[in-house]
Structure 1
């Protein structure tokens, strides 16, 4: 196969030559640069490239072109080369259109013209495009097949697990003819759903998370018995610690119970994260961070439930639910928080069958034309409302307080105000959840005790922040809410925490066990934002180095 192609499309000959020149200067040894003067000419060229069997790594298209603008062209180009990465060339006045393209047409980046110097404004973007293309390749996506029931909680859990771990899959409802054919070929029955069939033909019936992880190629077992650093939790704080730990030469392993990303990984769009002016989805941010950690040599283990932590001399030991252990010189706890259970009659029975915790993006298609309800008033709830408003006929946010302003970012409140099918009901709680095999109705209660029953097929819950730190035991000091205390909070009236063995105060992010550091939402008094969690993950690694130097 010949060199992969970088295509540039612009109706202005001078701009077209300039783009091609700059691309050839940087990428000419590894890529072939092809330029076209219109969307129609570019589509013809892409069809010829397709016939020859060549690969297209990235396409850069001008937004303002006669007859066919850049967005329309890129939509059609995606049909020919769905794995090619896409960027829009635009003037400053067209920035809004570029952001719309990113949100609606799945464009990867936009470039403002002029981009001089290219070393600062062009090449970093193209580097990101080709790196992403190399990671996915231009090969057919091998899909895992799932046969299940739409309103089955185990079926939902399988889909959610694969989606959050970026494993491509195809879903078949058990009542579809194709599902029946697939079950017959797998020698399985409808009573055994969910049934999962991997690309190599392996059949799993009612699989556990670990069985799925092993079947689709996710790592579940550590390669070594001892590490410099164990990171527990794969949210932004944990990923930040893994990236900085591995990049600075520490033998690092990240241990995650379900999927990297945590609550942030479920966010449909994070728009106030530094460096992403057009926003980034939690899944995209998580995928990039995970690949970055692995690039530096960090191991990432999934479906490992950590149930204990112990200091044994200079080693710090974590215990898994299956009875095995893993040791390291230091540990970073970045387990984040979980959404609190909705205390409403019937809620537990319908969880996974219309009631979901977090932004279950796998359910978006099923919400088309439906009235979706969201419980919660923080950013995660607002981001979910924006996301589901594209599918649902109506989205109602239910808030216990008098407004969103106490817990939601200003930019997000303003954004919600502009979406016609999103509504906010204040002073409202859910007290009843009803349905036979799936959610059908909700009972709502206002501040005066008046109740109302409404039809509903989907309820997404974003309430509270439970740290789930019971497994840490008494040696790790926590506040009354269960968040882990660190650094200065452990020194009371000049006295160090009970049992503290060292002749120094705990470092800023250090827990009551020396060498065990805490980052992100699970830390007492932390700022519950993605950027601060990443920063604490990086800072924890700096303190790990300081701790190791003092040993």
Structure 2
């Protein structure tokens, strides 16, 4: 297979030679390095490369050039290779232009000249950007293929699992893709057996559940230790942060996730206000980075596996999984997060997974092209999903019971929504019924102040309401508040049951539950701030308390 290309452009021949030299030293084994001193020549060349179906991973371009400025070059190059990473070479005086380019051409990085030593100032940046590009790069596809009906709940579950676990796959709609029908015919498969998953080794899975799929593709490794220092239950931002810090500090660390890593944040189409990412990042990108970091440091992952019980045995704890498997550990951090509350409206349950989805369901966005979609909810997750879906749908409606989004949504998102002409906010509004045949087709909507009823065509409905903690599996020994969130630290002293149960001379640590050595962090914890950054902070902090607990035992 031909190597992807790193393309550098600079009219200063000395600088061009230097960047080409440094790139070849580190990347020539995996990438073809192309350089030119002319921006116009570069545009002509990349057009030829596009016609030849060559992949360009990155453009590195100087800002000040006689034929056109670097930003102007990126504007044209983006039209041909929108997925290529963009690095602007700048002098100190060009810093303002570089910052403006972040928004104008979605600049990935601006690199100050000179960049010596390359090992410190060039290679770490290029490594990170190329890793990002590789995670989204799709050459001639040779991986998993999923064939099914667009509005099949089982098909949705499979796609959701693969996407959530960052496993590349090709979706083939049996009703729209000729290749899907051809594959069924040559493999003598019936439509009643859909969805089917074709693995890379030729194995065919017929109507697999997520657990069967995970086992078949080897994404569910075996437990390797007889005793873990810490087991983290839940792989959202809090759990992933705990995994990174636990593993980096020498703890034998295991993360158990019942669905897909990332939690609700992992499905976010764009997180704009996370520290250190001026142009924002997707929830999937944040999740991928965290998993990669945790694994590199030694953390282990089990997914999808569901925990059904925790019990204390002597001086250690035993975790029981849904399949009966048991895991021994010295401490536990619960970071199971929250689920969206079920919408108990007529027809909703009938079409869940068939046009109605809880959460972002990014895997279904492309099916909404040129159609009308609805979102229920007024929080940031709903707003981010609306902005993302507006790129596909003809019209996006946001349904909120209150008279404004300002009560629950960040101002930057409200501004983005107001700037998009195909998003409409329906205030003081509720859904009364969902209708359709085999999938969602219409929504009956009521304007609460007037009682006016309208019917709207709906290709999809995305639900982002409420926050129900995933704690029903916990026994009564772990104290929870009236809504089911886990109580920790000094807040436990308000419960009479706790004073009878707690036997240690010390008070519980800040994030410790009513059971010594079991901690809670992130959205599942009572009183937690529902933000990605705060969840990451709590997950990191929990490890410090784990160390204190282990020192006692």
**When the two structures are superposed, what TM-score results if normalisation uses the length of structure 1?**
0.89
Q: How do 1:367-382 and structure 2 match up within 5 A?
A: 367-382=368-383
**How far apart, CA to CA, are the structure 2 residues paired with 1:431 and 1:85?**
46
- Asked if 1:93 is matched to 2:97, the reply is yes
> Counterpart of 2:311?
310
Q: How do 1:449-464 and structure 2 match up within 5 A?
A: 449-464=451-466
> Counterpart of 2:172?
172
**How far apart, CA to CA, are the structure 1 residues paired with 2:392 and 2:2?**
42
- 1:59–1:215 distance in 2 versus 1, CA, 3 Å: farther
**How far apart, CA to CA, are the structure 1 residues paired with 2:479 and 2:154?**
36
Selected match of 2:530 from 522, 528, 531: 528
**How far apart, CA to CA, are the structure 2 residues paired with 1:296 and 1:148?**
38
**How far apart, CA to CA, are the structure 2 residues paired with 1:354 and 1:53?**
35
Helix, strand or coil: the match of 1:452? strand
Helix, strand or coil: the match of 1:219? coil
How far residue 34 of structure 1 moved from its aligned partner, in angstroms, is 4.8
- 1:413–1:4 distance in 2 versus 1, CA, 3 Å: closer
Q: How do 1:52-91 and structure 2 match up within 5 A?
A: 58-62=58-62, 66=67, 69-73=73-77, 76=80, 85-89=85-89, 91=94
> Counterpart of 2:163?
163
Task: Answer whether contact 2:164 2:266 (CA < 8 A) is retained.
Answer: yes
Task: Answer whether contact 2:87 2:111 (CA < 8 A) is retained.
Answer: no
**How far apart, CA to CA, are the structure 1 residues paired with 2:181 and 2:27?**
49
Q: How do 1:25-40 and structure 2 match up within 5 A?
A: 34-39=34-39
The Cα offsets for residues 485-520 of structure 1, whole Å up to 9 and x where unpaired, read as 001111239995431121111100011111111110
- 1:48–1:438 distance in 2 versus 1, CA, 3 Å: closer
Task: Answer whether contact 2:47 2:80 (CA < 8 A) is retained.
Answer: no
> Counterpart of 2:484?
482
Helix, strand or coil: the match of 2:60? strand
> Counterpart of 1:500?
502
How far residue 11 of structure 1 moved from its aligned partner, in angstroms, is 3.5
- 1:177–1:414 distance in 2 versus 1, CA, 3 Å: closer
**How far apart, CA to CA, are the structure 1 residues paired with 2:131 and 2:160?**
26
**How far apart, CA to CA, are the structure 1 residues paired with 2:255 and 2:470?**
18
CA RMSD of aligned residues (A): 3.3
Unaligned runs of 5+ in 2: none
Helix, strand or coil: the match of 1:311? strand
Task: Answer whether contact 2:98 2:110 (CA < 8 A) is retained.
Answer: no
Task: Answer whether contact 1:144 1:197 (CA < 8 A) is retained.
Answer: yes
Task: Answer whether contact 1:257 1:304 (CA < 8 A) is retained.
Answer: yes
> Counterpart of 1:111?
110
- 1:57–1:455 distance in 2 versus 1, CA, 3 Å: closer
Larger deviation, residues 118-127 vs 211-220: 118-127
Task: Answer whether contact 2:50 2:80 (CA < 8 A) is retained.
Answer: no
Larger deviation, residues 372-381 vs 362-371: 362-371
**How far apart, CA to CA, are the structure 2 residues paired with 1:47 and 1:404?**
45
**How far apart, CA to CA, are the structure 2 residues paired with 1:115 and 1:530?**
36
Helix, strand or coil: the match of 1:344? coil
Larger deviation, residues 449-458 vs 40-49: 40-49
Selected match of 1:548 from 547, 550, 553: 550
**How far apart, CA to CA, are the structure 2 residues paired with 1:343 and 1:406?**
23
The Cα offsets for residues 382-432 of structure 1, whole Å up to 9 and x where unpaired, read as 101111111112111111112111111121112212112212111111121
Task: Answer whether contact 1:343 1:431 (CA < 8 A) is retained.
Answer: no
- 1:373–1:135 distance in 2 versus 1, CA, 3 Å: closer
Larger deviation, residues 18-27 vs 538-547: 18-27
Q: How do 1:343-492 and structure 2 match up within 5 A?
A: 343-448=344-449, 449-492=451-494
- Asked if 1:152 is matched to 2:156, the reply is no
**How far apart, CA to CA, are the structure 1 residues paired with 2:401 and 2:136?**
44
> Counterpart of 2:294?
293
**How far apart, CA to CA, are the structure 2 residues paired with 1:431 and 1:53?**
50
Task: Answer whether contact 1:64 1:70 (CA < 8 A) is retained.
Answer: no
- 1:146–1:136 distance in 2 versus 1, CA, 3 Å: closer
- 1:112–1:407 distance in 2 versus 1, CA, 3 Å: farther
**How far apart, CA to CA, are the structure 2 residues paired with 1:412 and 1:4?**
36
Helix, strand or coil: the match of 2:339? coil
> Counterpart of 1:262?
263
- 1:452–1:158 distance in 2 versus 1, CA, 3 Å: same
Count of aligned positions: 542
How far residue 239 of structure 1 moved from its aligned partner, in angstroms, is 0.5
**How far apart, CA to CA, are the structure 2 residues paired with 1:55 and 1:237?**
36
How far residue 168 of structure 1 moved from its aligned partner, in angstroms, is 1.4
**How far apart, CA to CA, are the structure 2 residues paired with 1:502 and 1:355?**
49
Task: Answer whether contact 1:519 1:540 (CA < 8 A) is retained.
Answer: yes
**How far apart, CA to CA, are the structure 1 residues paired with 2:258 and 2:79?**
38
- 1:53–1:419 distance in 2 versus 1, CA, 3 Å: closer
**How far apart, CA to CA, are the structure 2 residues paired with 1:468 and 1:129?**
35
**How far apart, CA to CA, are the structure 2 residues paired with 1:493 and 1:53?**
66
**How far apart, CA to CA, are the structure 1 residues paired with 2:258 and 2:138?**
31
**How far apart, CA to CA, are the structure 2 residues paired with 1:520 and 1:441?**
37
How far residue 134 of structure 1 moved from its aligned partner, in angstroms, is 7.5
> Counterpart of 2:325?
324
**How far apart, CA to CA, are the structure 1 residues paired with 2:338 and 2:195?**
28
- 1:39–1:208 distance in 2 versus 1, CA, 3 Å: farther
**How far apart, CA to CA, are the structure 1 residues paired with 2:439 and 2:136?**
37
Task: Answer whether contact 1:228 1:251 (CA < 8 A) is retained.
Answer: yes
Unaligned runs of 5+ in 1: none
How far residue 114 of structure 1 moved from its aligned partner, in angstroms, is 5.1
How far residue 143 of structure 1 moved from its aligned partner, in angstroms, is 2.1
How far residue 125 of structure 1 moved from its aligned partner, in angstroms, is 2.0
**How far apart, CA to CA, are the structure 1 residues paired with 2:446 and 2:52?**
64
Q: How do 1:181-220 and structure 2 match up within 5 A?
A: 181-220=182-221
> Counterpart of 1:509?
511
